[in-house]
Chain A
Amino acid sequence: MKAVCWEGTRNIQVKTVPDPKILNSRDAIIKITTTAICGSDLHLYGGYNPTMKKGDILGHEFMGEVVELGKDVKSVSIGDRVVVPFTISCGSCFFCNRDLWSLCDNTNPNAWMAEKMMGHSPAGLFGYSHLTGGYAGGQAEYARVPFADVGLFKIPEAVTDEQVIFLTDIFPTGYMAAENCQIQPGDTVAIWGCGPVGQFAIRSAYLLGAEKVIAIDRVPERLQMAQAGGAIPLNYDEVEVGEALKEMTGGRGPDSVMDAVGMEAHGAGLEGFYDRAMQAVKLETDRPNVLRQAIVACRKGGTVSVPGVYTGLVDKMPMGAFMNKGLTMKTGQTHVHKYLRPLLDLIQSGKIDPTFIITHRIPLDEAPHGYDIFQTKKDSCIKIVMKPSMAA
């Protein structure tokens, strides 16, 4: 089959590799009909995760048709049309039992690696480095899905692939990030990053009752899309964000703030220079300038929601502000399994149409070009879906 392989920093190649096989009795094989490139794939593309290996198959947003089943799969049948959460969950452990699916105890075969770095291991993830299991991803023609009874969600024929593909990650991620803001009536939510997760977070915050959402970015088309979703756009190249946020919230500051950017934030000025220098000499793995800004901007007693991905260490955190203002931080990889069905209901009832996010549709063969324009934000790229069946 054809698969999108990581061959090194900023080196993506579409290769012919063996088809996946059933390895365990609860596995399924999916023939992929639609897959997507996620913003978090760009962290791998940029070489920020040291546990990638040459030849790793990328991709954790994918859906398709069940073509093969292990003998112990019960609730799925060959031919079912399914979406696949990017987090792999067993459905039986302490964490799965508590709806904390992305913290599953049993799905990371390389848990020791994560334990060394983080004390404990989160769930395995598709196509997202060996730190989270080294599972082959879904930017391919086929993929193997472990614990198929738990990790496959059937999709009715009435909705299209493009309407439901983002249930695999970015829609639930944006939604959980908004839920983590603990929105109360009258609340203002400030969201840093108007990429795909930020866009879904904006819309989810309104669905959850926010009075006002302020969206911070510097890319014009992303700010426009945020505005189309009802947010008040703020270009950090043009205004001093902290002051602007105070002025827009009666001097109080946003009730909750969201870092939908993560470890590759583009800092401006001296602070940005500092983080790049620290990262270059490996004293810091993640650049946290959005997180710093968000903590300082947040109103006293407010909530900091972090859907942006971090993998290692950050430097110079404003713990003084965080502690003295009595803030709460909520974060984590998304518990996709918890949100998938309720969000599918929102799509089916017409409350949201996730296709607004798609700017590019390309065949699998053009993945290297896709990664390039997504990373450099060329051609107004916000979200790319790939169709293995599309002719190159």
Chain B
Amino acid sequence: MALESNRSSDAPINQSGAISETERWSSLITGGALVLAGLSQRSLRGALLAIAGGGLAYHGATSNKSLPDQLSEATDNAQTIRVEKTVTIQNCSAETLYRFWRNFENLPKFMKHLKSVTTLSEQRSHWVANAPLGNSVEWDADIRSDIENQLITWASVEGSDVDNSGFVRFSEAPAGRGTEVKVVLEYSVPGGVVTATLAKLFGEEPEQQIGDDLRRFKMLMETGEIVTTEGQPSGA
């Protein structure tokens, strides 16, 4: 919806226009208007780059095209996997959850495919993910926007093997019913070279994997541990 309304405007992204775009996108995301329907044909990464203030060239982007056109073109020639999941976490404030997530080094505690995340600077972190046959893939990611207790967005730096981006949003559920945590992740691989690898990396169904990751986050936050049966006896 937001993208459609923006389509009529031909305003180029430049340094001076970037501030208002930033505010606009941030408010859209935090307000919940940026639903997958609106994103479905476009790149989340592109959107996050736009949030970050433009000036970052990506596939097909030229300075005299509208933002939605750029986003469309960015994804047209890339194989992408995009997932969106939401959980509600009981008895935890948005602040508690935000603080835990904001330290990216905590992510491997519940994201099964991640081996480690190392903080390099206030903005930049180094991610290592498990790949098939005991291999791993690595990339650096930058925080693109950070609204305390509400929203964190991030994207891999230009030229990463696994081009990916994501955001997590925390919002209070009504009547003390906990905090809603919404995660949108997107992985795109230029030219689709490594699509099979990506599928293996994130399982046959990325949607389920991210769902399971988020469920583990919820277990950890609500109960202090992640339930398991691994290591229990069996007569097999």
Which residues of A are interface residues toward B (Cβ below 8 A)? Answer: 1, 3, 5, 7, 13, 15, 17-21, 23-26, 53-57, 72, 90-94, 97, 105-109, 111-112, 115, 124, 133-136, 140, 144, 146-147
Contacts and interface: CB of A to CB of B under 8 A. Distances in A.
Contact of A55 (B90, B228, B229, B234): B234
Contact of B90 (A57, A93, A107): A93
Contact of B235 (A5, A90, A115): A5
Nearest to A25: B225
A23 B228 contact: yes
Interface string B200-234: 00000000100110010011001111111111111
Interface in B40-75: none
Contact of B233 (A20, A92, A111, A147): A20
A106 B226 CA distance: 8
B91 A92 contact: yes
Given A94-B88, A107-B227, A112 B232 contact: no
B178 A94 contact: yes
A108 B231 CA distance: 16
Given A94-B177, A97-B90, A106 B235 contact: no
Contacts of B236: 53-56
Most chain-A CB neighbours within 10 Å: which of B177, B223, B225, B227? B227
A92 B91 CA distance: 8
Contacts of B232: 20-21, 23, 135-136, 144
Contacts of B91: 92, 97
Contacts of A20: 232-233
B224 A106 contact: no
A2 B215 CA distance: 34
29 contacts: A1-B233, A7-B235, A13-B235, A17-B234, A18-B233, A23-B231, A24-B225, A24-B226, A26-B223, A53-B234, A53-B236, A56-B234, A90-B222, A92-B223, A93-B90, A93-B223, A94-B88, A94-B90, A94-B177, A106-B223, A107-B227, A109-B229, A111-B212, A112-B208, A112-B212, A115-B211, A124-B227, A133-B229, A146-B227
A134 B157 CA distance: 41
Nearest to B234: A55
B229 A93 contact: no
Given A19-B233, A55-B236, A105 B218 contact: yes
B219 to A, nearest CB: 5
B235 A17 contact: yes
B235 A93 contact: no
Given A23-B228, A97-B90, A106-B223, A112 B211 contact: yes
Given A53-B236, A97-B90, A112-B208, A92 B231 contact: no
The 3 A-B pairs of least Cβ separation, nearest first, read A55-B236, A5-B235, A55-B235
Interface string B64-97: 0000000000000000000000001011000000
B222 A92 contact: yes
Given A94-B177, A106-B218, A112-B212, A72 B224 contact: yes
A339 B236 CA distance: 35
A109 B233 CA distance: 16
Interface of A is mostly: loop
A94 B178 CA distance: 8
B231 A3 contact: no
Nearest to B236: A55
Contacts of A108: 227
A17 B233 contact: yes
Contacts of A106: 218-219, 222-223, 227
Nearest to A147: B223
A136 B211 contact: no
Contacts of A7: 235
Given A55-B236, A97-B90, A112-B211, A90 B223 contact: yes
Contacts of A107: 227
Nearest to A16: B235
B45 to A, nearest CB: 27
B218 A134 contact: no
Contacts of A56: 234-236
Contacts of A23: 228-232
A140 B233 CA distance: 11
Interface string B173-189: 00001100000000000
B227 A93 contact: no
Contacts of B177: 94
B225 to A, nearest CB: 5
A198 B177 CA distance: 37
Contact of A135 (B222, B223, B229, B231): B229
A3 B211 contact: no
A373 to B, nearest CB: 22
A56 B233 CA distance: 9
A38 B177 CA distance: 36
